[in-house]
């Protein structure tokens, strides 16, 4: 009986090693894909921050004053939405870090 178990272990160990290594390759690949998606999300946030900046500049030209805070307050009160306090510099640091890790 012991010989059967030993023979089975000899046969199964390379198969088990291949399955385990394949699983780790899958995890690494999935991790890289998630990092790429996160980078894309940060780039989207950066884009919308720039859109807001340009919109404010245009609004100042038309009204003579910055309406950014007024618009944000309307969104907070009427739509019950708020941002997490992400700043353009923090987004840039995250983008730089993810870009380095993906290359």
pLDDT for the residue numbered 33: 92
In this prediction, residue 39 carries a pLDDT of: 93
Residue of higher predicted confidence among 93 and 62: 93
Backbone CA torsion sign across 35, 40, 46, 52: negative
In whole numbers, what is the pLDDT of the chain averaged over residues? 87
26-to-13, 32, 64, 87 alpha-carbon distances in Å: 20, 10, 56, 34
What does pTM read for this prediction?
A: 0.64
């Amino acid at each position: 009986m012991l010989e059967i178990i030993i023979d089975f272990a000899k046969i199964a160990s390379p198969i088990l090693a291949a399955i385990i290594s394949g699983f780790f390759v899958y995890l690494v690949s999935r991790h890289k894909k998630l990092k790429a998606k996160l980078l894309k999300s940060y780039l989207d946030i950066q884009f919308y921050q720039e859109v807001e900046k340009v919109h404010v500049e245009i609004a100042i030209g038309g009204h003579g004053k910055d309406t950014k805070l007024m618009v944000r307050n309307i969104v907070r009160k009427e739509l019950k939405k708020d941002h997490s306090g992400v700043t353009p510099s923090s987004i840039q640091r995250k983008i730089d870090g993810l870009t380095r890790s993906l290359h």
